[in-house]
């Protein structure tokens, strides 16, 4: 979820539109982390306080830049911000900056066109249509790339005040939240930079920026039978239950415990090798020794790899067993980073053999909040093929935790 800073100078009506969109779920891929005003005593600051959003008064560019860095802003939205930002500031801020302007750019824009002045000039000109524009901010005033526009009629008896209100209600408050949400979606880091319809089953292990150990496991399916499954909790373990009536599938390949927990480790796999690892550890053998007794799945012609992971307080190891060999990858925890391994390498037609995952598990970004990571990952999966997702964030060590579980058939 992208961190948004909103810059204001006055009443904050567009800020309120963003706050409302955030509360109503329209703005869901980003969250407002700070409101920065160029002036003290403006109502926009009250709106921020009423919504529990931190705020600051920054009268110059240096203090604004310092505040943006402190709050970790990844997107800056100008919502009634009455100062023109310098090219030096825009270069230094190093994140996208967008603005809402109360006209249809390129008409009635540029230096001096702000507030009621815009609507006065619209009425004077005699045009019948005006509106609002959301655009990127660059060194040219109102000259950045246009992201969205919405037209509004100009009525015969309009005053600047009535026209301003109509443009706000029918255009600004509509397109600003929607455009910010779309931009957040585009800018948000993805687990799969190139969307895959069918990565198969996958494991993510790693650590949050604040030092919490975490893992995630997901399954996908291309046939009705393979989709007819759900995850269910069993104490600290995780099981798979078949919801359909098709009994023709090899249950050993689709019904297993993806997660089993011992006192000092968590085991995550895509098959019944979970039990193999658990039994081996109980007998004093290692994760690697256990998996050397197993091989890829007997599901010709794909021969799906077996992927496995183990998390301990000191590190995490992932494994993949393929037809061409058995591979192990061990890592120390790096705050804010994880590793992703999944069974298939890229999408193919349903009639073709699925290629196995290749190379080292990929680095992925792990945020601090499970409520940010889990739903974003679930939304990233192909809506037709996703089946279930389980995410667990531990507290101190590998004891207490919070988790999120998604089953397509139940969501």
- Do residues 208 and 100 both lie within one domain? no
Q: Average pLDDT of 184-195?
A: 84
Domain count, the chain: 2
Between CA 361 and CA 357 the distance in angstroms is: 9
Active site amino acids: 101
Which of 187, 217, 240 terminates a domain? The answer is 187
- Do residues 176 and 207 both lie within one domain? no
Between CA 272 and CA 270 the distance in angstroms is: 7
Which of 157, 187, 217 terminates a domain? The answer is 187
How many angstroms separate the Cα of 222 from the Cα of each of 14, 52, 86, 408? Answer: 44, 44, 52, 13
Q: Is the pLDDT of residue 249 over 70?
A: no
Confidence tier at 143 by pLDDT (50, 70, 90): very high
Q: Average pLDDT of 26-32?
A: 92
Mean pLDDT of the chain: 93
Please state the φ and ψ torsions of residue 37, each to the nearest 5 degrees: -110, 145
Q: Average pLDDT of 10-30?
A: 94
Token couple for 287: 């994760």
- Do residues 72 and 124 both lie within one domain? yes
Residue 321 lies in a domain: yes
Confidence tier at 399 by pLDDT (50, 70, 90): confident
Is the pTM here over 0.75, yes or no? no
- Do residues 270 and 162 both lie within one domain? no
Residue 197 lies in a domain: no
Q: Average pLDDT of 140-162?
A: 96
Q: What is the pLDDT of residue 246?
A: 56
Residue 96 lies in a domain: yes
How many angstroms separate the Cα of 52 from the Cα of each of 19, 34, 78, 358? Answer: 10, 10, 20, 46
Residue 357 lies in a domain: yes
- Do residues 112 and 252 both lie within one domain? no
Q: Which residue has the higher pLDDT, 352 or 321?
A: 321
- Do residues 11 and 134 both lie within one domain? yes
Q: Average pLDDT of 137-150?
A: 95
Q: What is the pLDDT of residue 252?
A: 64
Residue 93 lies in a domain: yes
- Do residues 83 and 129 both lie within one domain? yes
Q: Is the pLDDT of residue 250 over 80?
A: no
Q: What is the pLDDT of residue 224?
A: 82
Query: CATH code at 70?
Result: 3.40.50.170
Which of 187, 221, 255 terminates a domain? The answer is 187
- Do residues 396 and 268 both lie within one domain? yes
Q: Average pLDDT of 212-230?
A: 91
Q: Average pLDDT of 243-270?
A: 81
Q: What is the pLDDT of residue 350?
A: 77
- Do residues 133 and 22 both lie within one domain? yes
Query: Which tens digit of pLDDT belongs to each residue from 192-205?
Result: 877 788 999 999 99
Residue 44 lies in a domain: yes
Q: Average pLDDT of 219-238?
A: 91
Query: CATH code at 349?
Result: 3.60.20.20
Between CA 25 and CA 6 the distance in angstroms is: 18
Question: From its phi and psi, is residue 15 left (phi > 0), alpha (psi between -120 and 50) or beta?
Answer: alpha
* Domain boundaries, position 343: 202-410
Residue 194 lies in a domain: no
Q: What is the pLDDT of residue 251?
A: 65
- Do residues 150 and 259 both lie within one domain? no
Q: Is the pLDDT of residue 307 over 60?
A: yes
Q: Is the pLDDT of residue 146 over 90?
A: yes
- Do residues 130 and 215 both lie within one domain? no
Q: What is the pLDDT of residue 205?
A: 98
Q: What is the pLDDT of residue 247?
A: 52
Q: Which residue has the higher pLDDT, 243 or 252?
A: 243
Partners of 32 in beta bridges: 4
Q: Is the pLDDT of residue 245 over 90?
A: no
Q: What is the pLDDT of residue 140?
A: 92
Query: Which tens digit of pLDDT belongs to each residue from 347-371?
Result: 887 778 999 999 999 999 999 999 9
Q: What percent of the chain has pLDDT over 70?
A: 97
- Do residues 72 and 209 both lie within one domain? no
Residue 10 lies in a domain: yes
């Amino acid at each position: 979820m992208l961190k948004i800073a909103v810059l204001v100078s006055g009443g904050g009506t567009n800020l309120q539109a963003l706050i409302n969109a955030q509360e109503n779920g329209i703005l869901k891929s980003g969250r407002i982390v700070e409101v920065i005003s160029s002036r003290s005593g403006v109502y926009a600051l009250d709106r921020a306080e009423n919504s529990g959003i931190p705020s600051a008064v920054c009268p110059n560019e240096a203090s604004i830049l310092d505040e943006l860095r402190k709050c970790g802003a990844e997107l800056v939205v100008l919502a009634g911000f009455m100062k023109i930002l310098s090219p030096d500031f825009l270069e230094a801020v190093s994140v996208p900056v967008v603005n809402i302007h109360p006209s249809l750019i390129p008409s009635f824009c540029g230096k001096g066109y702000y507030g009621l002045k815009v609507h006065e000039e619209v009425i004077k000109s005699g045009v019948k249509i005006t509106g609002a524009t959301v655009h990127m901010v660059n060194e040219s005033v109102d000259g950045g790339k246009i992201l969205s526009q919405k037209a509004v009629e100009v009525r015969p008896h309009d005053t600047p005040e009535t026209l301003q209100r109509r443009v706000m209600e029918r255009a600004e408050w509509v397109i600003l939240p929607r455009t910010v949400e779309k931009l957040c979606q585009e800018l948000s880091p993805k687990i799969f930079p190139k969307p895959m319809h069918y990565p198969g089953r996958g494991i993510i292990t790693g650590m949050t920026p604040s030092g919490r150990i975490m893992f995630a496991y997901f399954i996908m399916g291309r046939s009705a039978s393979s989709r007819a499954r759900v995850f269910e909790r069993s104490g600290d373990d995780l099981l798979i239950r078949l919801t359909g009536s098709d009994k023709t599938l090899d249950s050993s390949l689709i019904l297993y415990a993806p997660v089993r927990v011992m006192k000092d480790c968590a085991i995550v796999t895509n098959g019944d090798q979970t039990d193999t690892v658990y039994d081996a550890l109980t007998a004093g053998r290692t994760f690697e020794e256990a998996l050397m007794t197993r091989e890829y799945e007997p599901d010709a012609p794909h021969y799906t790899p077996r992927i496995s992971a183990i998390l301990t307080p000191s590190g995490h190891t992932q494994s993949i067993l393929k037809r061409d060999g058995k591979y192990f990858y061990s890592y120390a925890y790096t705050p804010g980073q994880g590793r992703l391994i999944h069974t298939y390498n890229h999408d193919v037609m349903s009639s073709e053999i699925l290629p196995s995952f290749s190379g080292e598990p990929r680095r992925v970004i792990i945020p601090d909040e499970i409520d940010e990571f889990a739903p974003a990952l679930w939304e990233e999966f192909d809506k037709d093929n996703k089946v279930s997702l389980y995410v667990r964030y531990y507290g101190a060590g590998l004891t207490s935790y919070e988790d999120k579980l998604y089953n397509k058939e139940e969501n």
